[in-house]
Structure 1
Amino acid sequence: MLNTLRRIVQEVNAARDLPAALDIIVQRVREAMGTEVCSVYLLDPDTSRYVLMATEGLNKSAVGLVTLASNEGLIGYVGTREEPVNLEDAAVHPKFRYFAETGEERFASFLGVPIIHHRRVMGVLVVQQKARRQFDEGEESFLVTMSAQLAGVIAHAEATGAIRGLGWGGEVVQDTRFDGVPGAPGVAIGQAVVILPPADLNAVPDKPAVDIDAELALFRTALESVRRDMQTLSSKLASQLRPEELALFDVYLMMLDDAALGNEVVAIIRTGQWAQGALREVISDHVGRFELMDDPYLRERATDVKDLGRRILAYLQEAGRQDRVYPEQTILVSEEITPVMLGEVPKEKLVGLVSVLGSGSSHVAILARAMGVPTVMGAVDLPYTRVDGLELIVDGNHGEVYSNPSQELRRHYLELVREERELVQGLEKLREVPCITTDGHRMPLWVNTGLLADVARSLDRGAEGVGLYRTEVPFMIQDRFPSEKEQQATYREQLEAFHPLPVTMRSLDIGGDKALTYFPIKEDNPFLGWRGIRVTLDHPEIFLVQTRAMLKASHGLNNLRIMLPMISSIFEVEDALHLIHRAYSEVLDEGVDVPMPPVGVMIEVPAAVYQARELVQMVDFLSVGTNDLTQYLLAVDRNNPRVADLYHSLHPAVLQALVKVAHACRDAGKPMSVCGEMAGDPAAAVLLMAMGCDVLSMNATNLPKVKWLLRQISLEDAKALLDEVLLLDNPHLVQSTLHLALKNMGLGKVLSQR
């Protein structure tokens, strides 16, 4: 049965359009079930009527002509119930509706199952027979399974038609929307340019090398060609980005170094594998490790490695390069957009980006924000191979892409572009002023950093410190653990760049979800696995070296703060503090005179929320990572567009957890900060301030908007808003209530719509 299902789905996937796909479905399902009739009815969202779109066994002339209201007949009954209807004699059912055009009075038994995609009833799949009998459980299960498999296929075929401006009934449609996740804020209107990968590594077969030396020479030539490409693209981007922001290309060049990827490929070639097969093995191995990682910022490196592998393969295959002409308003579209692709488009022509895969934490999203290019990531339902040359609207604020825009929609977005431009120009004036509410409450605004590229951008926007520095980055770009001196140099750069402002360094956050190439960990469930503080406590030699490097880096600056990730119990903090004090003593014994820095705990898992009172007594501060906390409280992967609607940081459970942590900090007289995305949402920042949060740390891009809003409101009004929303039981109601109240105060211009 599974093989039958697989064959049908594959055949339907290969269909040229929706009508062809539906014809294949009714033919193959009828054959597989041995029934006399199989039909598909689709629900027209514009008319709310079911239309007979394909049949095998009824009169073909009825296709497209027979329609039923959404609650009419057995078809409407199946759709309304959203579950199978299995009848021995359909004609006696009170919902039965006879259509002479179909000739279905000859068929007694009826089995109908709904076709549902993302909670939307798309249609009904029906089988019928002349003989009176009830279809058995196996037959019903097969049809239900087939319907579930086909829902996505039909949705894709429907989207493919819609992208060209045609509904499945052949009618003209406009303003077709595809949902993704926000990558970089802003709106863009332009012409799509689809970039396909230059080569397919997965298609490379194993093949013995006839001449190993020749294969080695071929590979080294290809490697050098890609190195030159990287350097050329880096030079092209230099006019748009600060030098620090170009550091990412140095990471790429390190990967291409003979001591990194190059060396591994050479070793496999020497065993007798041809260059292309050796490259495939090495790239696949690295990609597999990165894709297992939980941290989206680091997991996106799989895309970078894949892109490099494809480019090397393109040279190995002598694929060469095609000269492409880019339109004046280019929107770059690809299955996986990489930072390198950005450099291939002239800077004055690139207005927007759309990536089918990836998240808002990917490297390309980070660079897009730095360049001010509106971006949508994770547009999984977009049939991207069909949009080349079409006009698109990219809404990076809400993660939406529109094709076939109407004049009305285009005017609406042009007005948004104008308003955004005026807003940004106005907010630039706030850089030097402090964030103080109308009734005198001071609210420090810090930034989250990872790349050195973030430093200048953060200071430009008036950041008062760093609430989260991800120390994993120097570990990710090497093929071994960095030495104490190497780490010290990296940390010193960050501390000096922000001095005298405080810099909060998170201790190494790796594990089953962030396996290093030289420290592989394989787990069935990396989200709940060996990660963060659990790894570094099990390997004190790693933790001690890193802590000593941080302490030495702070010599003479004294602006270091240390933060412990993924804490879930008291004993983890006790063990970590013991190691920190040991490292501190060792540094003093070496003659480096530094004060003991403040140490804090990240509140990221529910267990830490319920132990907040005990934890805060042990350390100097608590910092809430709202991204992971929301993810773990709601059991929702925040980077999965399929469940994006369930991930909501204003969920009542999240708000109650934050209040609990705030109370614990206030009672202990210790500071509480928030370093998740929630802190960068101006409306949510109002609630966090009202809870008693002492520091908000966010992406530098959002800092001016948060500062503007908090400077326009009083702490008293913020507390009143918090009291009101804490009584609500729905995250969407919380958001709409909050936004409405702020808009009524005249503060709506910096609010997102989600």
Structure 2
Amino acid sequence: MLNTLRKIVQEVNAAKDLKAALGIIVQRVKESMGSQVCSVYLLDPESNRFVLMATEGLNKRSIGKVSMAPNEGLVGLVGSREEPLNLEDAASHPRYRYFAETGEERYASFLGAPIIHHRRVMGVLVVQQKERRQFDEGEEAFLVTMSAQLAGVIAHAEATGSIRGLGKQGKGIQEAKFVGVAGSPGAAVGSAVVMLPPADLDVVPDKSVDDIDAEMELFGKALEWVREDMQELSAKLAKQLRKEERALFDVYLMMLEDAALGGEVRAIIKTGQWAQGALRQVVNAHVARFELMDDAYLRERASDVRDLGRRLLAYLQEERKQQLTYPDNTILVAEELSPAMLGEVPAGKLVGLVSVQGSGNSHVAILARAMGIPTVMGAVDLPYSKVDGIAMIVDGYHGEVFTNPSAELCKQYRAVVEEERQLVKGLDALRGLPCETLDGHRVPLWVNTGLLADVTRAQERGAEGVGLYRTEVPFMINERFPSEKEQMQNYRGQLAAFHPLPVTMRTLDIGGDKALPYFPIKEENPFLGWRGIRITLDHPEIFLVQVRAMLKASEGLNNLRILLPMISGLQELEESLHLIHRAWGEVRDEGVDIPMPPVGVMIEIPAAVYQVRELARQVDFLSVGSNDLTQYLLAVDRNNPRVADLYDFLHPAVLHALKLVVDGAHAEGKPVSICGEMAGDPAAAVILMAMGFDSLSMNATNLPKVKWLLRQLSLSKAQELLAQLLRMDSPQVIHSSLHLALRNLGLGRVINPAATIQA
């Protein structure tokens, strides 16, 4: 069955259009099941009727003519009930309807399965037989599986049709909407420019060569050309990005060195493999390694390696680079965007980005947020190769892409773009002002950092400290564990840059989902595996060196706070505190005079929520990691586009858990902060302030909006709003009630300027 399915699906995917695909399906399913009839009925959204679109066994002249409403016939019954129907004698069923033009009176048994894509019924797949018999379980399973495979094909064909301006009946241009993951907020109206990869590594064959020196020389030239490209792109982006952000291109250059990718390819060439084959082997091995990682940030590095590999291959094949023209208001579309692609677009022309693959944690999304470019990632259903040159809207607030938008929709989104521009202009004036409510309540706004680039951005936006410094970044860019001295210099840079403001450094948070190349971990379920504090307690030599480096870095500055990730109980906390005190004692013995810094615990595992008071008694502060806590509470991988809409930090379970944490921490007299996407969402920040969080830590880009909104409200009004929301049991109702309340106060547009557009 699997083999047959695979063959049918491959054949269908290669079909030139929907009509051909449906023709293949009815023919192959009829053959495979040994039935006498196989037909596909598709639901026409305009007439809301199931129309016969392809058949083998019925009269071909009835295609396009025979149709039935959801409350008519057996096909309508399968479609409206959304479940299979298996009948031995179809004619005796009360819903049976006879169509003379199909000649179907000769067929007794009937098996129908609904075709459903993302909860939408698209049609019905039917097989029929002359003799009366019940189709067996295996046959039913085959048809259900076939219809599930068919759903994606039909959705893709319909989307392609609407993109190219032809519906099923060949009617004029249709507007179509595709849903992905919000990568960078904002809206853009423009023209799509599709960037296809310069070369395809996957099709490169193995080939033996005799002249190894010639291959080495060819590969050396390719390396040199790509190096020049990278330096050129970095220079091109100089005006748009800061020096630290352009450092991403330095990472590319490092990967080309002999100590990295370059050296591995040369080693394989020496065995007698041609340069292209050697390159494919090395790149695919690296990509496979990265893609197995469950940490979203690290998984995205696979696309960087793949992009480099394609560029090198293009030169090896002596192909000319793709010549693209970029109109004003270019929306760059690719199957997998890479940071280098951004540099290809002339300055001032790029207004939006769409990537079929990837997530909100990819390098592209990080750069897009830094550059303020609206971005949608993970638009998996978008037939990207067909959209070149057409009008498009990117909604980076909701993670939506519109193709062939109507004049009215374009007008609405252009108004949003202009409003956003005016708003950003107005927020600049807030930089030196405190984040204080109308009734005098102060809320310190901190930032999350990891790259040096974040420092300047945070200072420009008036951050009052660092709520989360991700210490794993220096570990990720190294080929080995950094020494105590190297770590100390790194941490000193962060502490000095923000002095005298507090800097909260999270201890190394690696593991199954963030495996370092020199410390590989393979696990079935990395999110529930060996990660965070679990690893560093098992490897005290790593933990002690890191804590010693932090302590030494803080000498004379005394603005360090240490944060422990992934704590699930008291034993882990007690062991960690014991090691921190040991490191402090060692450092003082070496003559470094520093006070013991405050130590805190990250609340990101549900177990910690219910032990919050016990944990708070042992530490100086608590910090909620809202991204992971939401993910664990709701059992949703927020970077998976298929379930990303279930990830919701305003879910009642999340709100009640957060309230428990704040109340528990304050009952023990300890401050509690929150970091993650939730803290940087202006509307959610109102709720967090009302709950009593002592500080909010966020992406620097969002800080001015959060500050503006909190300054327009009183704490008492926010608390009143929170009390109402905590009584609600649906995330959707909570969202709409919160946004409505803020809109009624005249504050709606800063939350989401695109919220009022009903597309």
- Name the amino acid aligned to 2:597: P
Q: State the Cα deviation string for residues 49-91 of structure 1 (Å, max 9, x = none).
A: 1111111111111111122112221111101211110111111
Q: Name the residue aligned to 1:425.
A: 425
283-292 or 565-574, larger mean C-alpha shift = 283-292
- Name the amino acid aligned to 1:626: S
Partner SS state of residue 520, structure 1: coil
Residue 671, structure 1, aligned to residue 674, structure 2 = no
Q: Name the residue aligned to 1:285.
A: 285
Q: Name the residue aligned to 2:112.
A: 112
Partner SS state of residue 354, structure 1: strand
**Would you say the 8 A contact 1:292–1:512 is kept in 2?**
no
Residue 529, structure 1, aligned to residue 529, structure 2 = yes
- Name the amino acid aligned to 2:667: D
- Name the amino acid aligned to 1:598: P
Residue 444, structure 1, aligned to residue 444, structure 2 = yes
Counterparts of 1:570 and 1:34, CA distance in 2: 64
- Name the amino acid aligned to 2:707: K
Q: State the Cα deviation string for residues 360-406 of structure 1 (Å, max 9, x = none).
A: 11111111111121111110000001111111111111111111111
Counterparts of 1:233 and 1:2, CA distance in 2: 47
Counterparts of 1:73 and 1:429, CA distance in 2: 66
Residue 397, structure 1, aligned to residue 390, structure 2 = no
Q: Name the residue aligned to 1:662.
A: 662
54-63 or 166-175, larger mean C-alpha shift = 166-175
Partner SS state of residue 321, structure 2: coil
Q: Name the residue aligned to 1:704.
A: 704
- Name the amino acid aligned to 2:316: L
Counterparts of 2:203 and 2:266, CA distance in 1: 20
Q: Name the residue aligned to 1:30.
A: 30
**Would you say the 8 A contact 1:78–1:85 is kept in 2?**
yes
Q: Name the residue aligned to 1:370.
A: 370
**Alignment of structure 1 residues 229-308 onto 2, 5 Å:** 229-308=229-308
Counterparts of 2:294 and 2:152, CA distance in 1: 26
Counterparts of 2:495 and 2:252, CA distance in 1: 25
Q: TM-score, normalised by structure 1?
A: 0.98
Aligned length: 754
Counterparts of 2:57 and 2:296, CA distance in 1: 50
Q: State the Cα deviation string for residues 407-453 of structure 1 (Å, max 9, x = none).
A: 11111111111111111111121111111111111111111112211
Q: Name the residue aligned to 1:384.
A: 384
Q: Name the residue aligned to 1:717.
A: 717
Deviation at 1:648, TM superposition (A): 0.7
Deviation at 1:247, TM superposition (A): 1.5
**Would you say the 8 A contact 1:43–1:70 is kept in 2?**
no
Partner SS state of residue 415, structure 2: helix
Q: State the Cα deviation string for residues 667-695 of structure 1 (Å, max 9, x = none).
A: 01111111010111111111111111011
80-89 or 160-169, larger mean C-alpha shift = 160-169
Counterparts of 2:379 and 2:116, CA distance in 1: 19
Q: Name the residue aligned to 1:178.
A: 178
Q: Name the residue aligned to 2:220.
A: 220
Deviation at 1:269, TM superposition (A): 2.6
206-215 or 149-158, larger mean C-alpha shift = 206-215
Q: Name the residue aligned to 1:435.
A: 435
- Name the amino acid aligned to 1:611: Q
Counterparts of 1:483 and 1:219, CA distance in 2: 34
Partner SS state of residue 188, structure 2: strand
Counterparts of 2:319 and 2:591, CA distance in 1: 59
Counterparts of 2:412 and 2:520, CA distance in 1: 50
Q: Name the residue aligned to 1:492.
A: 492
**Alignment of structure 1 residues 16-95 onto 2, 5 Å:** 16-95=16-95
Partner SS state of residue 678, structure 1: coil
438-447 or 554-563, larger mean C-alpha shift = 554-563
Counterparts of 1:239 and 1:431, CA distance in 2: 23
Q: Name the residue aligned to 1:575.
A: 575
337-346 or 714-723, larger mean C-alpha shift = 714-723
Q: State the Cα deviation string for residues 444-494 of structure 1 (Å, max 9, x = none).
A: 111111221111111111111111111111111121111222222222222
636-645 or 61-70, larger mean C-alpha shift = 61-70
**Would you say the 8 A contact 2:198–2:322 is kept in 1?**
no
**Would you say the 8 A contact 1:290–1:514 is kept in 2?**
no
Counterparts of 1:500 and 1:271, CA distance in 2: 57
Partner SS state of residue 743, structure 1: helix
Deviation at 1:173, TM superposition (A): 4.4
Counterparts of 2:223 and 2:200, CA distance in 1: 17
Counterparts of 2:78 and 2:659, CA distance in 1: 45
Partner SS state of residue 677, structure 1: coil
**Alignment of structure 1 residues 461-540 onto 2, 5 Å:** 461-540=461-540
- Name the amino acid aligned to 1:179: V
Q: Name the residue aligned to 1:324.
A: 324
Q: Name the residue aligned to 1:738.
A: 738
**Alignment of structure 1 residues 552-563 onto 2, 5 Å:** 552-563=552-563
653-662 or 571-580, larger mean C-alpha shift = 571-580
CA RMSD of aligned residues (A): 1.4
Deviation at 1:564, TM superposition (A): 1.2
Q: Name the residue aligned to 1:163.
A: 163
**Would you say the 8 A contact 1:636–1:647 is kept in 2?**
yes
Q: Name the residue aligned to 2:623.
A: 623
Counterparts of 1:363 and 1:742, CA distance in 2: 33
Counterparts of 1:640 and 1:107, CA distance in 2: 44
Q: State the Cα deviation string for residues 172-208 of structure 1 (Å, max 9, x = none).
A: 3432100111111111111111111112222222333
Partner SS state of residue 512, structure 2: coil
Q: State the Cα deviation string for residues 530-562 of structure 1 (Å, max 9, x = none).
A: 111111111111111111221222222221111
135-144 or 200-209, larger mean C-alpha shift = 200-209
**Would you say the 8 A contact 1:17–1:161 is kept in 2?**
no
**Would you say the 8 A contact 2:286–2:305 is kept in 1?**
yes
Unmatched 5+ residue regions in structure 2?
A: none
Q: Name the residue aligned to 1:647.
A: 647
Residue 545, structure 1, aligned to residue 545, structure 2 = yes
Partner SS state of residue 678, structure 2: helix
**Would you say the 8 A contact 1:292–1:514 is kept in 2?**
no
Q: State the Cα deviation string for residues 235-275 of structure 1 (Å, max 9, x = none).
A: 00001112122111122222222212222222233333332
Counterparts of 2:266 and 2:518, CA distance in 1: 18
Counterparts of 1:468 and 1:556, CA distance in 2: 21
- Name the amino acid aligned to 1:729: D
Q: State the Cα deviation string for residues 490-515 of structure 1 (Å, max 9, x = none).
A: 22222222222111111111111111
**Would you say the 8 A contact 2:163–2:175 is kept in 1?**
no
Partner SS state of residue 679, structure 1: coil
Q: State the Cα deviation string for residues 107-147 of structure 1 (Å, max 9, x = none).
A: 11111100111111111000111211111111111101111
Q: TM-score, normalised by structure 2?
A: 0.97
Counterparts of 1:263 and 1:551, CA distance in 2: 37
**Alignment of structure 1 residues 304-315 onto 2, 5 Å:** 304-315=304-315
**Would you say the 8 A contact 1:247–1:452 is kept in 2?**
no
Partner SS state of residue 102, structure 2: coil
Q: Name the residue aligned to 1:359.
A: 359
**Would you say the 8 A contact 1:374–1:395 is kept in 2?**
yes
24-33 or 590-599, larger mean C-alpha shift = 590-599
Q: Name the residue aligned to 1:195.
A: 195
**Would you say the 8 A contact 1:291–1:302 is kept in 2?**
yes
